[in-house]
Amino acid sequence: MARLTISVATEKLQLLKPFRISGHVFEAFGVVVVTLGDGRHQGRGEACGVYYLGDNAAHMLAVLDGASAAIAAGPTREELRAILPPGGARNAVDCALWELEAARAGVPVWQLAGKAAPRPLRTTFTLGADTPKAMATTALDYAQAHAIKIKLTGELDLDLERVAAVRAARPDAWLGVDGNQGFVAGQLDALIAGLQAQDVRLLEQPLARGHEAELEGLRSPIPLAGDESILSLRDVASAVGRYDVVNIKLDKCGGLTEGLLMAQEARRLGLGVMVGNMGGSSLSMGPSFVLGQECDIVDLDGPIFLANDRRPGVEYVDGDVWSGPEVWGGQVPIAGFTSR
Protein backbone atom coordinates (compact mmCIF):
# COMPACT_ATOMS: atom_id res chain seq x y z
CA MET A 1 0.00 0.00 0.00
CA ALA A 2 1.24 3.53 -0.81
CA ARG A 3 2.25 5.95 1.92
CA LEU A 4 -0.66 7.40 3.85
CA THR A 5 -1.54 10.63 5.56
CA ILE A 6 -2.85 10.24 9.10
CA SER A 7 -5.30 12.49 10.91
CA VAL A 8 -6.09 11.70 14.55
CA ALA A 9 -8.79 13.52 16.49
CA THR A 10 -10.35 13.07 19.91
CA GLU A 11 -14.01 13.72 20.58
CA LYS A 12 -16.28 13.61 23.63
CA LEU A 13 -19.60 11.89 23.04
CA GLN A 14 -22.03 13.08 25.69
CA LEU A 15 -24.69 10.65 26.90
CA LEU A 16 -28.34 11.64 27.21
CA LYS A 17 -28.19 10.60 30.86
CA PRO A 18 -25.74 8.75 33.15
CA PHE A 19 -25.43 5.04 32.41
CA ARG A 20 -24.64 2.67 35.27
CA ILE A 21 -23.10 -0.79 35.19
CA SER A 22 -21.35 -2.83 37.87
CA GLY A 23 -18.64 -0.61 39.34
CA HIS A 24 -18.95 2.28 36.86
CA VAL A 25 -21.18 5.19 35.90
CA PHE A 26 -20.64 6.73 32.45
CA GLU A 27 -21.67 10.28 31.52
CA ALA A 28 -19.72 10.54 28.26
CA PHE A 29 -17.41 8.50 26.04
CA GLY A 30 -14.05 9.81 24.93
CA VAL A 31 -13.32 8.50 21.43
CA VAL A 32 -10.43 8.65 19.00
CA VAL A 33 -11.14 9.04 15.28
CA VAL A 34 -8.44 8.07 12.79
CA THR A 35 -8.64 9.15 9.14
CA LEU A 36 -6.21 7.68 6.63
CA GLY A 37 -5.80 9.12 3.16
CA ASP A 38 -3.78 8.41 0.03
CA GLY A 39 -4.42 11.74 -1.67
CA ARG A 40 -7.49 10.46 -3.49
CA HIS A 41 -9.40 8.22 -1.10
CA GLN A 42 -9.86 8.13 2.64
CA GLY A 43 -10.96 5.75 5.36
CA ARG A 44 -12.16 6.35 8.91
CA GLY A 45 -12.24 4.44 12.16
CA GLU A 46 -13.58 5.35 15.60
CA ALA A 47 -12.58 3.74 18.90
CA CYS A 48 -13.74 4.07 22.50
CA GLY A 49 -10.99 1.88 23.92
CA VAL A 50 -11.47 -0.46 26.88
CA TYR A 51 -12.11 1.42 30.13
CA TYR A 52 -11.33 -1.47 32.50
CA LEU A 53 -7.88 -1.88 30.94
CA GLY A 54 -7.00 1.82 31.14
CA ASP A 55 -7.31 2.04 27.36
CA ASN A 56 -8.75 5.55 27.26
CA ALA A 57 -8.33 8.34 24.70
CA ALA A 58 -4.98 9.46 26.13
CA HIS A 59 -3.63 5.91 26.00
CA MET A 60 -4.86 5.39 22.45
CA LEU A 61 -3.21 8.64 21.34
CA ALA A 62 0.08 7.57 22.85
CA VAL A 63 -0.07 4.18 21.11
CA LEU A 64 -0.87 5.82 17.77
CA ASP A 65 1.91 8.38 18.17
CA GLY A 66 4.43 5.61 18.79
CA ALA A 67 3.40 3.77 15.64
CA SER A 68 2.75 6.74 13.35
CA ALA A 69 5.69 6.05 11.02
CA ALA A 70 4.72 2.41 10.58
CA ILE A 71 1.09 3.37 9.89
CA ALA A 72 2.10 6.06 7.40
CA ALA A 73 4.07 3.42 5.49
CA GLY A 74 0.74 1.89 4.46
CA PRO A 75 0.67 -1.55 6.09
CA THR A 76 -1.79 -4.24 5.16
CA ARG A 77 -4.43 -5.05 7.74
CA GLU A 78 -2.58 -8.27 8.59
CA GLU A 79 0.69 -6.38 9.01
CA LEU A 80 -1.11 -3.94 11.32
CA ARG A 81 -1.83 -6.82 13.71
CA ALA A 82 1.93 -7.10 14.26
CA ILE A 83 2.47 -3.34 14.52
CA LEU A 84 -0.17 -2.54 17.13
CA PRO A 85 -1.48 -4.62 20.07
CA PRO A 86 -5.18 -5.42 20.51
CA GLY A 87 -7.12 -2.42 21.77
CA GLY A 88 -8.75 0.80 20.70
CA ALA A 89 -5.82 2.28 18.76
CA ARG A 90 -5.55 -0.72 16.46
CA ASN A 91 -9.33 -0.82 16.08
CA ALA A 92 -9.45 2.75 14.79
CA VAL A 93 -6.61 2.19 12.31
CA ASP A 94 -7.85 -1.22 11.17
CA CYS A 95 -11.34 0.11 10.44
CA ALA A 96 -9.85 3.11 8.60
CA LEU A 97 -7.80 0.71 6.46
CA TRP A 98 -10.92 -1.33 5.63
CA GLU A 99 -12.83 1.75 4.50
CA LEU A 100 -9.85 3.12 2.57
CA GLU A 101 -9.39 -0.20 0.77
CA ALA A 102 -13.11 -0.38 -0.02
CA ALA A 103 -13.05 3.17 -1.41
CA ARG A 104 -10.10 2.31 -3.64
CA ALA A 105 -11.84 -0.81 -4.92
CA GLY A 106 -15.16 0.97 -5.37
CA VAL A 107 -17.04 -1.67 -3.38
CA PRO A 108 -18.57 -1.77 0.13
CA VAL A 109 -16.58 -3.40 2.93
CA TRP A 110 -18.84 -6.44 3.13
CA GLN A 111 -18.06 -7.26 -0.48
CA LEU A 112 -14.36 -6.65 0.09
CA ALA A 113 -14.53 -9.15 2.95
CA GLY A 114 -16.12 -11.77 0.69
CA LYS A 115 -19.41 -11.75 2.60
CA ALA A 116 -22.99 -11.92 1.40
CA ALA A 117 -25.01 -8.72 1.17
CA PRO A 118 -25.89 -7.57 4.69
CA ARG A 119 -29.33 -7.81 6.27
CA PRO A 120 -30.86 -5.85 9.15
CA LEU A 121 -29.93 -7.38 12.49
CA ARG A 122 -32.07 -7.86 15.58
CA THR A 123 -30.21 -5.97 18.31
CA THR A 124 -30.55 -5.83 22.05
CA PHE A 125 -31.46 -2.54 23.72
CA THR A 126 -29.60 -2.13 27.00
CA LEU A 127 -30.99 -1.07 30.36
CA GLY A 128 -28.46 0.56 32.66
CA ALA A 129 -28.66 -0.47 36.31
CA ASP A 130 -31.24 1.56 38.24
CA THR A 131 -34.18 0.94 40.55
CA PRO A 132 -36.46 -1.90 39.45
CA LYS A 133 -39.29 0.57 38.81
CA ALA A 134 -37.12 2.87 36.70
CA MET A 135 -35.78 -0.04 34.65
CA ALA A 136 -39.30 -1.35 34.05
CA THR A 137 -40.36 2.10 32.85
CA THR A 138 -37.42 2.30 30.44
CA ALA A 139 -38.21 -1.20 29.19
CA LEU A 140 -41.70 0.02 28.32
CA ASP A 141 -40.18 3.07 26.61
CA TYR A 142 -38.19 0.69 24.39
CA ALA A 143 -41.40 0.02 22.50
CA GLN A 144 -39.67 -1.23 19.35
CA ALA A 145 -37.25 -3.52 21.18
CA HIS A 146 -37.74 -7.26 20.83
CA ALA A 147 -34.53 -8.03 22.76
CA ILE A 148 -33.42 -6.32 25.98
CA LYS A 149 -30.15 -6.63 27.88
CA ILE A 150 -30.25 -5.79 31.59
CA LYS A 151 -27.17 -4.48 33.39
CA LEU A 152 -26.71 -5.99 36.84
CA THR A 153 -24.43 -4.89 39.69
CA GLY A 154 -23.75 -8.00 41.79
CA GLU A 155 -26.36 -7.04 44.41
CA LEU A 156 -28.11 -10.39 44.13
CA ASP A 157 -31.52 -9.71 45.66
CA LEU A 158 -31.82 -6.29 44.05
CA ASP A 159 -30.64 -7.63 40.71
CA LEU A 160 -33.30 -10.33 40.73
CA GLU A 161 -35.90 -7.68 41.57
CA ARG A 162 -34.67 -5.68 38.59
CA VAL A 163 -35.04 -8.63 36.26
CA ALA A 164 -38.48 -9.51 37.60
CA ALA A 165 -39.67 -5.93 37.15
CA VAL A 166 -38.43 -5.79 33.55
CA ARG A 167 -39.97 -9.19 32.77
CA ALA A 168 -43.33 -8.06 34.19
CA ALA A 169 -43.18 -4.93 32.04
CA ARG A 170 -42.05 -6.77 28.90
CA PRO A 171 -43.31 -10.37 28.94
CA ASP A 172 -42.89 -10.43 25.15
CA ALA A 173 -39.16 -9.62 24.97
CA TRP A 174 -36.05 -11.78 24.79
CA LEU A 175 -34.07 -10.95 27.92
CA GLY A 176 -30.36 -11.26 28.60
CA VAL A 177 -28.39 -9.97 31.57
CA ASP A 178 -24.84 -8.65 31.92
CA GLY A 179 -23.03 -9.01 35.23
CA ASN A 180 -20.00 -6.96 34.12
CA GLN A 181 -17.81 -9.00 36.52
CA GLY A 182 -19.97 -8.06 39.51
CA PHE A 183 -20.72 -11.47 41.05
CA VAL A 184 -18.76 -14.12 42.94
CA ALA A 185 -18.96 -17.86 42.43
CA GLY A 186 -21.01 -18.44 45.59
CA GLN A 187 -23.86 -16.35 44.15
CA LEU A 188 -24.16 -18.22 40.87
CA ASP A 189 -26.60 -20.97 41.83
CA ALA A 190 -29.12 -18.51 43.26
CA LEU A 191 -28.56 -16.06 40.42
CA ILE A 192 -29.09 -18.64 37.70
CA ALA A 193 -32.18 -20.07 39.38
CA GLY A 194 -33.70 -16.61 39.69
CA LEU A 195 -32.89 -15.75 36.09
CA GLN A 196 -34.31 -19.02 34.82
CA ALA A 197 -37.57 -18.26 36.62
CA GLN A 198 -37.83 -15.07 34.53
CA ASP A 199 -37.00 -16.83 31.24
CA VAL A 200 -33.65 -15.06 30.83
CA ARG A 201 -31.80 -16.41 27.79
CA LEU A 202 -28.21 -15.20 28.34
CA LEU A 203 -25.95 -14.53 31.32
CA GLU A 204 -22.94 -12.44 30.35
CA GLN A 205 -19.68 -12.21 32.34
CA PRO A 206 -20.91 -12.91 35.87
CA LEU A 207 -17.43 -13.32 37.42
CA ALA A 208 -14.39 -11.07 37.34
CA ARG A 209 -11.73 -11.50 34.71
CA GLY A 210 -9.16 -13.91 36.11
CA HIS A 211 -11.78 -16.10 37.82
CA GLU A 212 -12.80 -18.03 34.70
CA ALA A 213 -11.66 -21.36 36.15
CA GLU A 214 -14.44 -21.11 38.74
CA LEU A 215 -16.94 -21.64 35.93
CA GLU A 216 -15.54 -25.04 35.02
CA GLY A 217 -18.05 -27.77 35.82
CA LEU A 218 -20.91 -25.30 36.24
CA ARG A 219 -24.02 -26.67 34.55
CA SER A 220 -26.11 -23.68 33.68
CA PRO A 221 -29.40 -24.01 31.77
CA ILE A 222 -28.78 -20.42 30.67
CA PRO A 223 -25.94 -19.92 28.17
CA LEU A 224 -22.95 -18.05 29.60
CA ALA A 225 -21.18 -15.40 27.51
CA GLY A 226 -17.60 -14.30 28.05
CA ASP A 227 -16.89 -10.61 27.51
CA GLU A 228 -14.16 -9.12 29.72
CA SER A 229 -12.61 -12.61 29.88
CA ILE A 230 -12.27 -12.86 26.08
CA LEU A 231 -10.37 -9.91 24.69
CA SER A 232 -8.77 -11.08 21.46
CA LEU A 233 -8.13 -14.08 19.23
CA ARG A 234 -5.62 -15.60 21.62
CA ASP A 235 -8.31 -15.82 24.35
CA VAL A 236 -11.00 -17.63 22.36
CA ALA A 237 -9.77 -21.18 23.08
CA SER A 238 -9.88 -20.47 26.83
CA ALA A 239 -13.67 -20.07 26.61
CA VAL A 240 -14.19 -23.79 25.97
CA GLY A 241 -15.61 -25.47 29.06
CA ARG A 242 -16.31 -22.15 30.72
CA TYR A 243 -18.47 -20.13 28.36
CA ASP A 244 -20.97 -21.00 25.66
CA VAL A 245 -20.76 -17.71 23.76
CA VAL A 246 -17.91 -15.33 22.95
CA ASN A 247 -18.75 -11.62 22.96
CA ILE A 248 -16.52 -9.94 20.35
CA LYS A 249 -15.98 -6.19 20.61
CA LEU A 250 -13.75 -4.44 18.11
CA ASP A 251 -12.30 -2.12 20.74
CA LYS A 252 -11.12 -5.14 22.72
CA CYS A 253 -9.68 -7.21 19.91
CA GLY A 254 -8.31 -4.40 17.77
CA GLY A 255 -10.57 -4.15 14.75
CA LEU A 256 -12.74 -5.88 12.21
CA THR A 257 -9.85 -7.98 10.87
CA GLU A 258 -9.30 -9.73 14.20
CA GLY A 259 -13.02 -9.76 14.99
CA LEU A 260 -13.73 -11.84 11.90
CA LEU A 261 -10.89 -14.21 12.83
CA MET A 262 -12.35 -14.57 16.34
CA ALA A 263 -15.79 -15.42 14.97
CA GLN A 264 -14.28 -18.05 12.70
CA GLU A 265 -12.29 -19.61 15.55
CA ALA A 266 -15.25 -19.58 17.93
CA ARG A 267 -17.36 -21.43 15.37
CA ARG A 268 -14.57 -23.97 14.86
CA LEU A 269 -14.55 -24.63 18.60
CA GLY A 270 -18.34 -25.02 18.77
CA LEU A 271 -18.97 -21.73 20.56
CA GLY A 272 -21.71 -19.22 19.90
CA VAL A 273 -20.75 -15.75 18.69
CA MET A 274 -21.98 -12.35 19.87
CA VAL A 275 -20.98 -8.86 18.77
CA GLY A 276 -21.07 -6.05 21.29
CA ASN A 277 -19.77 -2.51 21.63
CA MET A 278 -17.93 -0.37 24.16
CA GLY A 279 -20.07 2.62 23.21
CA GLY A 280 -19.50 5.15 20.47
CA SER A 281 -21.26 6.75 17.55
CA SER A 282 -22.61 5.22 14.38
CA LEU A 283 -19.07 5.32 13.00
CA SER A 284 -18.16 2.66 15.58
CA MET A 285 -21.24 0.57 14.83
CA GLY A 286 -20.61 0.32 11.07
CA PRO A 287 -17.68 -2.14 11.25
CA SER A 288 -19.39 -4.08 14.03
CA PHE A 289 -22.49 -4.38 11.84
CA VAL A 290 -20.38 -6.19 9.24
CA LEU A 291 -19.16 -8.60 11.94
CA GLY A 292 -22.71 -8.91 13.25
CA GLN A 293 -23.74 -10.68 10.05
CA GLU A 294 -21.74 -13.65 11.38
CA CYS A 295 -23.19 -13.58 14.91
CA ASP A 296 -25.95 -15.29 16.89
CA ILE A 297 -26.51 -12.36 19.25
CA VAL A 298 -26.14 -8.68 18.37
CA ASP A 299 -25.73 -5.80 20.82
CA LEU A 300 -25.18 -2.67 18.73
CA ASP A 301 -27.29 -0.06 20.48
CA GLY A 302 -24.52 2.39 21.46
CA PRO A 303 -25.78 5.41 19.50
CA ILE A 304 -29.20 5.40 21.16
CA PHE A 305 -27.56 6.63 24.38
CA LEU A 306 -25.86 9.65 22.80
CA ALA A 307 -27.05 13.25 22.96
CA ASN A 308 -25.70 13.63 19.41
CA ASP A 309 -24.83 11.04 16.78
CA ARG A 310 -23.18 11.33 13.39
CA ARG A 311 -25.20 11.87 10.24
CA PRO A 312 -25.77 9.75 8.32
CA GLY A 313 -26.12 7.24 11.13
CA VAL A 314 -27.26 3.72 11.73
CA GLU A 315 -31.02 3.17 11.76
CA TYR A 316 -33.14 1.34 14.32
CA VAL A 317 -36.46 0.03 13.01
CA ASP A 318 -38.74 -2.49 14.74
CA GLY A 319 -35.93 -3.71 16.98
CA ASP A 320 -33.42 -4.13 14.14
CA VAL A 321 -30.26 -2.16 13.37
CA TRP A 322 -29.15 -1.28 9.84
CA SER A 323 -25.89 0.32 8.74
CA GLY A 324 -25.33 1.11 5.07
CA PRO A 325 -22.06 2.01 3.32
CA GLU A 326 -22.96 5.69 3.62
CA VAL A 327 -22.43 5.34 7.39
CA TRP A 328 -19.12 3.49 7.11
CA GLY A 329 -17.51 1.21 4.61
CA GLY A 330 -17.98 3.22 1.44
CA GLN A 331 -16.49 6.34 -0.11
CA VAL A 332 -18.14 8.99 2.04
CA PRO A 333 -17.04 12.38 3.41
CA ILE A 334 -16.27 12.92 7.06
CA ALA A 335 -19.55 13.60 8.84
CA GLY A 336 -19.97 15.98 11.72
CA PHE A 337 -22.39 15.88 14.59
CA THR A 338 -25.98 17.10 14.59
CA SER A 339 -28.36 17.54 17.48
CA ARG A 340 -31.31 15.23 17.91
Q: Facing residues of 127 across strands?
A: 150
pLDDT band at 98 (very low <50, low <70, confident <90, very high): very high
**Which residue among the candidates 12, 17, 149, 249 is catalytic per the annotation?**
249
Residues contributing to the annotated binding site: 178, 204, 227
Mean pLDDT to the nearest integer, 237-257: 98
Beta 297-298 vs 5-21: how paired, if at all?
unpaired
Residue 1: per-residue pLDDT: 61
**Which residue among the candidates 115, 133, 151, 252 is catalytic per the annotation?**
151
CA atoms within 13 A on the CB side of 33: 20
Q: Is 115 part of the annotated catalytic residue set? A: no
Residues contributing to the annotated binding site for Mg(2+): 178, 204, 227
pLDDT band at 48 (very low <50, low <70, confident <90, very high): very high
Residue 340: per-residue pLDDT: 27
Residue 209 has pLDDT above 90, yes or no: yes
Residue 301 · residue 278 · CB < 8 Å: no
Q: Is 249 part of the annotated catalytic residue set? A: yes
Tell me if the bond preceding 312 is cis, omega within 30° of 0. yes
Mean pLDDT to the nearest integer, 128-153: 98
Domains of the chain are 5-106 (3.30.390.10), 121-322 (3.20.20.120)
Residue 250 has pLDDT above 50, yes or no: yes
CA distances from 242 to 160, 224, 229 (A): 23, 8, 10
